[in-house]
A and B are shown apart, each in its own frame.
Chain A
Amino acid sequence: MNKLIIFCIFMILMGSLYIILTEPHSDDSIPTLYWVTDANPTRYQQIELFHDWLIQNKHTTPEGNAIVRIKLETGGIDNKKLIHGVSGVAGDLIDLSDIDQYQKLGILEDVTEQGKSLGFDIHQTFPSLKPSLYFNDKQYGYPCNVSIHSCWVNSETFAKLEMEAPPEKWDVETFEKIGKEFVLKANKEKERQEVFFMNKPSDWLLIPWLTTLIRSMGQSTFNETLTDSTLDQGAFAEALRLNLKWVEEDHLFPSSAEASSFNSEGGFGGSLMSLFLEGNYGMITTGRWVLVRLRDLEEPPRVSVSRYPFKYFENSVVMTRAACIYKGSKHKKLAALFLSFLASQTYNEQIVQCADALPSNPKYLHSNEFLKPIHFPNEWGAHEVPARSAQEISIAETKSPYISYSSIVKVIREADEKVQNHISEPVEAAKEANLAIREEIQRNLKHRPKLKKQFDKDKFRQNQINRMKENGEKIPTSLISNPFYKKYYNDKK
């Protein structure tokens, strides 16, 4: 027995020794940045480019090596980012799509000054993204890429049915009309419906979809000063009603059950693409990154892009995956270099080439490499649509400082699920959602005197706005915090 224990200890020691000896040697003189991001293959390419960019721009050691190296930390689901962040052990660079939530936690470094000096401030990206990157006029991140969710159309599926691909812009009525015709033709002589006009926007895709519809009716999820939910004002209920109608009456989208039987996943590696290519969906709602997978095919199909349908105010939701610097990082200055790299020509050209959404800097949207990629003529004509949307009609998501974005998403998703399951009528579900958000705001204010103080100020501003609206006066933009109303009132002028 003793011999066995000694043998086991010996084996463990030998194993440890082997691991130490075979571990690649790290040069301690060069610091390492950890980048918390998604598991996308292009990230490895981007790391190499960053290394080359550092050398080209003379950010080197006396020996001529890059002054910093980057390692990826993938699989950073949101809750993990949150817990690591508040515990002081997060990566140096964190990719975030909801900066406001993490800024509230105080875990993000203010990069306003570096943004100006190293050239990655708001002037180097889409102006409509400002509410997503700046809080109290301080910058907390820079976009890795920019997404405009649109309907990506498989033109060949439409051609087979002798139908024109949908137009770039369409109102809800046209969307319905074309959709019904498509579904009817595509499922003719089939035992059960196998082809749908579009995948049903669900999970994280549901929010930009519903937001676009609500905004197209001149309303938003919050009031002008973000102090109160306005989900009960009619537009949200109408959007929920339309979503239900398009599933149950018009059969343009599959129901949740039909969608789950397709086993589709909307993410990068999901099977949504296979269904799109097979013709089960005439179009899919996604971003430009859909092309990353399409380009891997031997014969990618011809694609076109249509904006999300609208009622009367045309708009699109601009979103970003932005890189932020962790406040607890030991290498903040070096991390700022990475943000500078994200604004550089090298990085933006790589985004243009690999099609991982839109480049962070809009000046690269006009190049021929972006609009007419030489190896992919099947995409010609498609790129202009998201580019135009981002520059002309895009508005950042509406987020309130008084409630977390994840709570809003949860409430909106639950309202849609209630309607889809016939638990509540759309109007009722909208009222319940409105109440849930109000209660959550009150709950957040209860034990936070600072927030309450700010809330009271904003509430006062809201009363001013309400009076102006009653008197039919023009509302100055300076009074408005909600990015939607800033653009809406401005465009209405």
Chain B
Amino acid sequence: MTKNKEFKNTLLGLAFLSPNILGFSIFTIFPLGFSLVMAFSNWDLSQHNIFHSNPIHWVFFDNFSALLSSNEFWKFFKNTLFFMLGIPVSIAGSLMAAILLNQDLKAPSKKIRNQLILGSLLILGIIVTIMTGLKASVISIFLSSIFTLILMGGLLGGSTLYRTLFYTPHFTAGVATFILWKKLYNPQSGPLTNFLQPVLDHVSIFIEFVGSENIGFLKYAAATLCFLSLSYGLKTILKMRKELELGNGSFAIAYFLSALPSYFIVKWSPDNPVSAVLQIILIGTLFYYFASFFKVSKPKTPIDDGIGKAIWIGFISMTAQFILIGLCNLFQNIPAIMQSPLSTPNWLTDYNWAKPSLMFMGFWASIGSNQMLLYLAALSNLSPELQEAAEIDGASKFQKFWNVTWPQLAPVTFFISIMAVIQGMQGGFEVAKTMTGGGPAGATTTLEYYIYDEGFASGRLAYASAISWVLFAMIFLLTLFNWRFGNRFIDE
């Protein structure tokens, strides 16, 4: 190819690309660069707009230092992180949904199909009868019936029907679904309350029958389990360190994650002898394993060896401990709670419940989202030879999943995790604006909402830009961390 022709081809290629490059430059690159410049200025709509030509000053890092020292920023940052705690659950949910939807659920023969339909109708009848007995509302009975009908539909239509239904939340307009969920969360007449309240009534009767004081004793069981979770986690990572599966840095991360709940136990525990004993045991355990770490021989290994596994183990131990602390707290307070009959919370208007309620809705939306589609695609591309080899070796279903399927899904999980973290940091505006207005008392305001509020309600564009860039920096660091160590996890 002559140089002239090559040049012509390049020009032609650029000509085809130019509309996109032009659009991208004008609508993405320029605003991005502009907002970065803006973040170092004092641009405020009340002072600087086409009718107010006050000079714009450079304030350098003032906006950044102001926001980093602002209580509001950190409060909304914590809210954002709280919502992000749901990411592992939503990924696990998407994977489970994808595995289920990967099965062929269609009834193999007409006879079996008819039997299953009859069985489902019978189940539907039983559900309706029970719910009527529990004085459930018409809407709850209706929803239960729909649920059973969907189950039946799957037998007729196979997994295609389920795949469509599971993906529905993703292509339904956000605001419409938020309003729907607002109705579901209605604390007086919402289906969720109507479904839970009769259950809670029966739980109340049961607790009364057993005696709330007796139930309160279960706190000791929960505390013991919490201690065992901590010990097991620490023991496992120490063993892995001994066997050179973990580097010193990885060990430190896993140790820190496992020990984190103990800090909160000490912070939250009431002043009584029982909790004092528990605190001593936990701190003693932490010291014991810390000391053991120095006792074991530590041949040289890269500092971040096995970091993926370390994070997983630390995270599981931490989550288990937090759940058990919650249960312990619940059992501790059962006698006080039982002063009045149990009732469902005010989902969206209670300061402590608003965040979990939105988070729960987020699970629903994300389980049937693109995450599930990606997993479905990955599952259909798994190597059948490996599965067959595992089967021949006599692997159980769980072993097949854990040792064959899960490692093959690692690249997809890695991609989904990165995207979920990015979206999690950037999210929360639409849902909070529609359902809670960022309240009560700022409980559901995320950083994205804060940017909108500062930029378009208060008119402080420079400050809003500074928040955006701090958010960008956080996302960038998190993604970098994910990239650095997530890749390692895939390789391992």
**A, B assembled together:** yes
How far is A105 from B457 in the complex, measured between Cα atoms in Å? 13
Chain A residue numbers with a CB within 8 Å of B66 are 443
On whether A414 and B45 interact (CB within 8 A), knowing A82-B456, A327-B51, the answer reads: no
Asked if B397 CB lies within 8 Å of chain A CBs, one says no
What residues of B have a CB within 8 angstroms of the CB of A476 in the complex?
A: none
Check: A87 CB closer than 8 A to any chain B CB: yes
Tell which of A83, A255, A263, A327 touches B456, judged by Cβ atoms closer than 8 Å: A83
Query: Which residues on A sit within 8 Å (CB–CB) of B346?
Result: 255-257, 260
Which B residues lie within 8 Å of A257 (CB)? Answer: 187-188, 346, 349-350
Within 8 A of A (CB), among B422-447: 439-442
Which residues in window 47-64 of B have CB below 8 A to A?
A: 47, 49-52, 54, 57, 59, 62
A105 to chain B, nearest CB (A): 5
Q: Is the CB of B439 within 8 A of A447?
A: no
B47 cross-chain contacts in A, Cβ below 8 A: 448
Which of A260, A327, A443, A447 makes the CB contact (< 8 A) with B349? Answer: A260
Whole-angstrom CA separation of A203 from B51 in the bound complex:
31
Interface members, chain A 362-418 (any B CB < 8 Å): 404, 406-407, 413-414, 417-418
From 295 to 342 in chain B, residues with beta carbon under 8 angstroms from any chain A beta carbon are none
Interface assignment of B137: CB less than 8 Å from any CB of chain A: no
A165 to chain B, nearest CB (A): 28
| Contact, CB under 8 Å: A421 / B351 | yes
**Contact residues of B between 267 and 284, Cβ < 8 Å to A:** none
CB neighbours of A107 from chain B (8 A): 49, 51
Query: In the bound complex, do residue B52 and residue A263 qualify as a contact, i.e. CB atoms below 8 Å apart?
Result: no
For window 69-104 of chain B, which residues contact chain A by CB distance below 8 Å?
none
The answer to whether A88 has its CB under 8 Å from any CB of chain B is yes
Measured CA separation A105–B50 after assembly (Å): 10
Q: Is B366 an interface residue (CB 8 A)?
A: no
Q: Which residues of B contact A85 (CB under 8 A)?
A: 49
Is the CB–CB distance between B57 and A86 below 8 Å? no
Which listed residue (A88, A406, A407, A418) contacts B50, Cβ 8 A? A88
Are the CB atoms of B46 and A105 closer together than 8 Å? yes
Which among B186, B346, B441, B458 has the highest number of chain A CB atoms within 10 Å?
A: B441
**A79, A256, A257, A406, most chain B CB atoms within 10 A:** A257
- CB neighbours (8 Å) of A420 from chain B are 440
A406 with B458, Cβ < 8 A, contacts A257-B349, A421-B350 known? yes
Instruction: Decide: A104 and B441 in contact? CB cutoff 8 A.
Output: no
Q: Is A423 an interface residue (CB 8 A)?
A: yes
Residues of A within 8 A of B456 (CB): 79, 82-83
Bound-complex Cα distance A220 to B49 (A): 32
Selected from A78, A263, A406, A447, the residue in CB contact (under 8 A) with B59 is: A447
Q: Is the CB of A261 within 8 A of B187?
A: yes
Contacts of A256 in B (CB 8 A): 346, 349, 440
Knowing A82-B459, A258-B188, the reply to whether A106 touches B49 (Cβ < 8 A) is yes
Pick the contact of A261 from B59, B186, B351 — CB < 8 Å? B186
Residue A218 interfacial (CB < 8 Å): no
- Given contacts A258-B188, A261-B189, are A106 and B51 in contact (CB under 8 A)? yes
CB distance from B465 to the nearest CB of A (A): 15
The answer to whether A447 touches B44 (Cβ under 8 A) is yes
> Which residue of chain A is the closest to B453 with respect to CB atoms?
A410
Whether A87 contacts B188 by the Cβ 8 Å rule is no
Q: Cβ of A414 and Cβ of B51 under 8 Å apart? A: no
Nearest CB on B from A27, distance (A): 30
The A-contacting residues of B in range 349-370, CB under 8 angstroms, are 349-351
A423 and B351 within 8 A (CB)? yes
Instruction: Point out the residue from A260, A327, A407, A447 that lies within 8 Å of B458, measured CB to CB.
Output: A407
Given contacts A414-B439, A417-B440, A423-B441, contact A328 B50 (CB under 8 A): yes
In chain B, positions 14-50 with a C-beta closer than 8 Å to chain A are: 42, 44-47, 49-50
Complex-state Cα separation, A106 to B186, whole angstroms: 43
A448 proximity list for chain B (CB < 8 A): 44, 47
Residues of A within 8 A of B51 (CB): 86, 105-107, 327-328
Q: Which residue of B lies closest to A406 (CB)?
A: B457
A255 to B187 CA separation, bound complex (whole angstroms): 11
Contact A106/B439 with A257-B350, A258-B188, A406-B458 known, Cβ cut-off 8 Å:
no
Chain B's closest residue to A256 (CB) is B349
User: Is B440 a contact partner of A87 (Cβ separation < 8 A)?
Assistant: no
Query: In angstroms, how far is the closest chain B Cβ from the Cβ of A13?
Result: 21
Complex: how many Å from CA A262 to CA B457? 29
Q: Residues of A within 8 Å of B, CB-based: how many? A: 37
Mask, A179-195, CB within 8 Å of B = 1, is 00000000000000000
Count residues on chain B whose CB falls below 8 Å from chain A CBs. 32
Nearest residue (CB) in B for A326 is B51
0/1 interface trace, chain B 450-469, chain A, CB 8 Å (1 if under): 00000011110000000000
Q: Residues of A contacting B42 with CB < 8 Å?
A: 447
The tally of CB-CB contacts under 8 A between chains A and B is 90
* Residues on the B chain within 8 Å of A450, using CB: 54
Closest A-chain residue to B183, C-beta based? A263
What 1/0 flags go to B368-410 for Cβ under 8 Å of A? 0000000000000000000000000000000000000000000
B259 within 8 Å of A by Cβ? no
CB distance from A430 to the nearest CB of B (A): 14
Residue of A nearest to B344 (CB): A257
The yes or no answer to B152 lying at the interface (CB within 8 A) is: no
B49 to chain A, nearest CB (A): 4
Does A106 lie within 8 Å of B188, measured CB to CB? no
CA distance A414 to B66 in the complex (A): 21
Closest to B462 in A: A447
A87 to B440, CA, bound (A): 33
- Interface pair B441/A404, CB less than 8 Å apart: no
- B348 at interface (Cβ–Cβ under 8 A)? yes
Q: Which residue of A lies closest to B463 (CB)?
A: A443
A417 to chain B, nearest CB (A): 4
**Most A Cβ at <10 Å: residue of B44, B49, B59:** B49
**Nearest neighbor of B351 in chain A, beta-carbon distance:** A421
Closest B residue by C-beta to A83:
B456
A82 cross-chain contacts in B, Cβ below 8 A: 45, 456-457, 459
Which residues does chain B contribute within 8 Å of A421, judged by CB atoms?
349-351, 440-441
In the complex, what distance in Å separates the CA atom of A467 from the CA atom of B414?
A: 68
CB-CB under 8 A from B188, the residues of chain A are 257-258, 261-262
A404, B459: Cα distance in complex, Å: 10
Known A82-B45, A105-B459, A443-B66; contact A417-B187, beta-carbon cutoff 8 A: no
Complex CA distance for A257 and B51, rounded to whole angstroms: 44
> Residues of B contacting A83 with CB < 8 Å?
456
Instruction: Give residues 201-256 of A contacting B (CB, 8 Å).
Output: 255-256
The answer to whether A104 and B348 have CB atoms under 8 Å apart is no
CB distance from B60 to the nearest CB of A (A): 12
Pair A87/B46 contact, Cβ less than 8 Å: no
Chain B: minimal CB distance from A77 (Å):
10
Checking A106, A262, A404 against B52 with a beta-carbon cut-off of 8 angstroms, the contacting residue is A106
Residue of A nearest to B190 (CB): A261
Q: Within the assembled complex, what's the spacing in Å between the Cα atoms of A88 and B51? A: 8
Q: How far is the CB of A313 from chain B (nearest CB, A)?
A: 30
Interface residues of B in 161-198 (CB under 8 A from A): 186-190
Closest chain A CB from B109 CB (angstroms):
44
Q: How far is the CB of A384 from chain B (nearest CB, A)?
A: 36
With A257-B188, A263-B186, A423-B441 known to touch, is A404 a contact of B458 (CB < 8 Å)? yes
Could you list some 24 contacts between A and B, CB below 8 A?
A79-B457, A82-B45, A82-B459, A86-B51, A86-B459, A105-B45, A105-B49, A105-B459, A256-B346, A256-B440, A260-B348, A327-B51, A328-B50, A328-B51, A404-B458, A406-B458, A414-B441, A414-B442, A417-B439, A418-B351, A421-B350, A423-B351, A447-B42, A447-B59
Interface residues, chain A, with chain B CB atoms under 8 Å away: 78-79, 82-83, 85-88, 104-107, 255-258, 260-263, 327-328, 404, 406-407, 413-414, 417-418, 420-421, 423, 443, 446-448, 450
Report, nearest first, the 4 A-B pairs whose CB atoms are least far apart: A261-B188, A257-B346, A86-B49, A256-B349
Not counting A407-B458, A423-B351, A447-B57, a sample of 5 additional A-B residue pairs whose C-beta atoms are within 8 angstroms of each other reads: A86-B49, A87-B49, A88-B50, A107-B51, A257-B346
